[in-house]
Structure 1
Amino acid sequence: MSYLPAPGYMPTYNPPLPYSQPIPGGLRPGMSIYVQGTVPHHTKRFVVNLACASHDGCDVALHFNPRFDGKDKVVLNTFQGGRWGKEEHQSMPLKKGEHFEVVFIVSGDRYQIRVNGNHFCDYMHRIPPERVMEVKADGDLQLQSMTLLGGGGMMGGGGYPQMGMPGMGPAAGGYPPSNLPMMTAPASYHPQVPYSGSFPGGLGSKRTVVVRGFLPQHAKQFRINFKAGPNETVLHINPRLNERAVVRNSYLGGRWGPEEREVQFNPFQAGQYFDLSIRCGNQQFKVFANGQPFFNYKHRFHNFQQIDRLEIDGDVVLSYVQF
């Protein structure tokens, strides 16, 4: 597998619990782990562990343990050498029956933990993050997705999972080698909407844009636009929840072209997270949603170097944008 000048992008969707995902080469500063799911109404506690091995009793660099036991709190700790360290307690940011997103961002001396787009707490390293070989989740949790995002380094053969890795086959939403994303720009975490980002040097063939977000309960529609100059919209992706449609089109030469609406499934639901991977191929855009092929859009504008901007607006809360 060739090395790509891009962060790793390893998503897994709706895995059964207990779940573990390998981290080839360990964690390094700049990497992050996204955990998205729902807290069931009956929940008592669940756990996300950044573990140093796969066997029971191994060292755990970070134990993230929300507890709903009357004194609702989040317990953080480290398990090392067969014993637990000193617990750190934080107030509970999660609510039963609601969706949530927790992001663990690795920095040089700590984990920065964000919950639902807001800074939650920092946890100082007690074990070097390079020793972390798996992320594990278990307990009273409906796990929607877990994503490992690399920090620009190489992760076991170019930043991407080897085929056959647990949890990364097609059924789990893993990308096959021919669909590995190529991304070069730094990630944008929880950017504001409306969002605008530029493609230095144009979009280019085989470049991939990843958009992750959440649709509020009141959401009606939002728009993702690939722009060429001030007036041309090369690709317009317009999920319309009020019509249960995902409209695609281009605005070229001062007019809209024919709409495309047909999809095999619709990942855009109010109160749900979504993950889009939009790859610019030589003949068409190939779009994946939540790890599954979503639609192809044949190019109506072929000068990729002039595609210089990504714009997102409407009823959406963005978690993560990268290209």
Structure 2
Amino acid sequence: MSPGGEKLDPIPDSFLLQPPVFHPVIPYVTTIFGGLHTGKMVMLQGVVPQHARRFQVDFQCGCSLQPRPDIAIHFNPRFHTTKPHVICNTLHGGRWQAEARWPGLALQREASFLILFLFGNEAMKVSVNGKHFLHYPYRLPLSRVDTLGIFGDILVKAVGFLNINPFLEGGREYPAGHPFQLKSPRLDVPCSRALSRGLWPGQVIVVRGLVLQESKDFTLSLWDESAHVSVTLRASFTDRTLAWISPWGRKRLVLAPFLFYPQRFFEVLLLCHEGGLKLALNGQGVGATSLSQHALERLAELRISGSIQLYCVHC
């Protein structure tokens, strides 16, 4: 229920995202909103301490202490051996199954890292600092996983729960993992970013944020070299509409579930292609708007305003 007692519109589970977590205390255990499903991605940013021996990231089937819950996926980097490596395994009915081992660990002590856990139809894929590292076939149904646990020698800066980028990115195996802003959990609003070369086919704009409790609207606009607005995407919280606004004020509604409710996390993706921009909300493609190639190349600035906290802006 909303603060005023008004019932919120239903949102499909595939659109739901939970806010990122900054600097959690380890050991850290949290519920995964909506559980895990194909197309979901967990992003982990952090640093391996100088004297780290091992840490583990567990995707668990529940969070009980006794009896111990099943662990569908146990991801366990080990640094204290002669050859650092990663062990993956599954705990079922209190018993560990056969270990799967990967040498050539791409994590180093005293080094920062960005790990992406990408959940496919039959296996979890893991990339470390933008490069594929391993894939681990499921031994328990992914639908049973509802809890994330992080333990051991690790300094975690941020944990993000996202849906994968729905746009094809030249056949690359992983969507680009754009880190959250870590100097401060929030960026200033209004926010402006220069587009030094305009927009070109294949470029993706990423905006992640949280809607404030007292919310009115959210606006993302693209301005050209002459300081004229070329296109605007506006969410109105009062009438729950999302629309493209032309430079002449013409409004065209985006026909998709309205996601911008107070205290809810959101991710907006704009993919530039020949002839305009494609839009995705929380990892789901929801439409496009037309813009000539000449107009795209002349774009010089991205502006963001509204009743939101910003966690990430990438363009």
Q: Does 1:232 align with 2:299?
A: yes
Alpha carbons of structure 1 residues 146 and 207: separation in structure 2 relative to 1, 3 Å? closer
- Other-structure match for 1:155: none
1:180 to 251, 257, 265: 265
Cα distance, 1:138 vs structure 2: 1.1
2:77 to 66, 76, 82: 66
- Other-structure match for 2:272: 197
- Other-structure match for 1:108: 121
Deviation per residue, 1:267-304 (Å, 9 max, x gap)? xxxxxxxxxxxxx55xx5956136xxx9xxxxxxxxxx
Q: Which runs of 4+ in 1 moved over 3 A?
A: 4-7, 171-177, 182-185, 196-204, 206-209, 284-287
- Other-structure match for 1:143: 156
Cα distance, 1:208 vs structure 2: 8.7
Alpha carbons of structure 1 residues 230 and 11: separation in structure 2 relative to 1, 3 Å? same
Superposed, which structure 2 residues align to 1:1-323 within 5 Å? 1-2=8-9, 3=11, 6=15, 8=17, 10-56=19-65, 57-71=68-82, 72-91=84-103, 92-150=105-163, 175-176=210-211, 177-178=261-262, 180-181=265-266, 183=268, 197-198=272-273, 229-235=296-302, 280=304, 288-289=310-311, 312=315
Aligned letter for 2:80? D
Alpha carbons of structure 1 residues 234 and 203: separation in structure 2 relative to 1, 3 Å? farther
Q: Give, in whole Å, the separation in 2 of the partners of 1:82 and 1:181.
A: 37
Alpha carbons of structure 1 residues 8 and 42: separation in structure 2 relative to 1, 3 Å? same
Cα distance, 1:104 vs structure 2: 1.0
Q: Give, in whole Å, the separation in 1 of the partners of 2:79 and 2:111.
A: 14
Q: Give, in whole Å, the separation in 2 of the partners of 1:133 and 1:172.
A: 25
Aligned letter for 1:114? S
Q: Give, in whole Å, the separation in 2 of the partners of 1:208 and 1:27.
A: 15
Contact 1:7 1:184 in 2 (8 A): no
Alpha carbons of structure 1 residues 200 and 58: separation in structure 2 relative to 1, 3 Å? farther
Alpha carbons of structure 1 residues 16 and 199: separation in structure 2 relative to 1, 3 Å? farther
Cα distance, 1:207 vs structure 2: 7.2
Aligned letter for 1:48? V
Q: Which secondary structure does the structure 2 equivalent of 1:181 belong to?
A: strand
Contact 1:34 1:147 in 2 (8 A): yes
Q: Give, in whole Å, the separation in 1 of the partners of 2:268 and 2:311.
A: 17
Q: Which secondary structure does the structure 2 equivalent of 1:10 belong to?
A: coil
Query: Structure 1 length as normaliser, TM-score?
Result: 0.54
Q: Which secondary structure does the structure 2 equivalent of 1:120 belong to?
A: strand
- Other-structure match for 1:254: none
Deviation per residue, 1:98-124 (Å, 9 max, x gap)? 001111111111001111111101100
Alpha carbons of structure 1 residues 24 and 76: separation in structure 2 relative to 1, 3 Å? same
Cα distance, 1:175 vs structure 2: 3.2
Alpha carbons of structure 1 residues 99 and 151: separation in structure 2 relative to 1, 3 Å? closer
Query: Structure 2 length as normaliser, TM-score?
Result: 0.55
Cα distance, 1:182 vs structure 2: 5.4
Deviation per residue, 1:221-266 (Å, 9 max, x gap)? xxxxxx9532232327xxxxxxxxxxxxxxxxxxxxxxxxxxxxxx
- Other-structure match for 1:255: none
Q: Give, in whole Å, the separation in 2 of the partners of 1:172 and 1:235.
A: 20
Q: Give, in whole Å, the separation in 2 of the partners of 1:40 and 1:117.
A: 21
Alpha carbons of structure 1 residues 50 and 289: separation in structure 2 relative to 1, 3 Å? same
Q: Give, in whole Å, the separation in 1 of the partners of 2:15 and 2:274.
A: 15
Deviation per residue, 1:135-177 (Å, 9 max, x gap)? 110111100111111369xxxxxxxxxxxxxxxxxx9889354
Aligned letter for 1:20? V
Contact 2:210 2:310 in 1 (8 A): no
Cα-Cα RMSD: 3.6
Contact 1:29 1:151 in 2 (8 A): no
Cα distance, 1:9 vs structure 2: 5.1
List runs of 5+ in structure 1 lacking aligned partners.
153-170, 186-195, 210-226, 237-279, 295-309, 313-323
**Count of aligned positions:** 203
Cα distance, 1:69 vs structure 2: 1.7
Q: Give, in whole Å, the separation in 1 of the partners of 2:210 and 2:138.
A: 31
Q: Give, in whole Å, the separation in 2 of the partners of 1:182 and 1:65.
A: 29
Alpha carbons of structure 1 residues 109 and 43: separation in structure 2 relative to 1, 3 Å? same
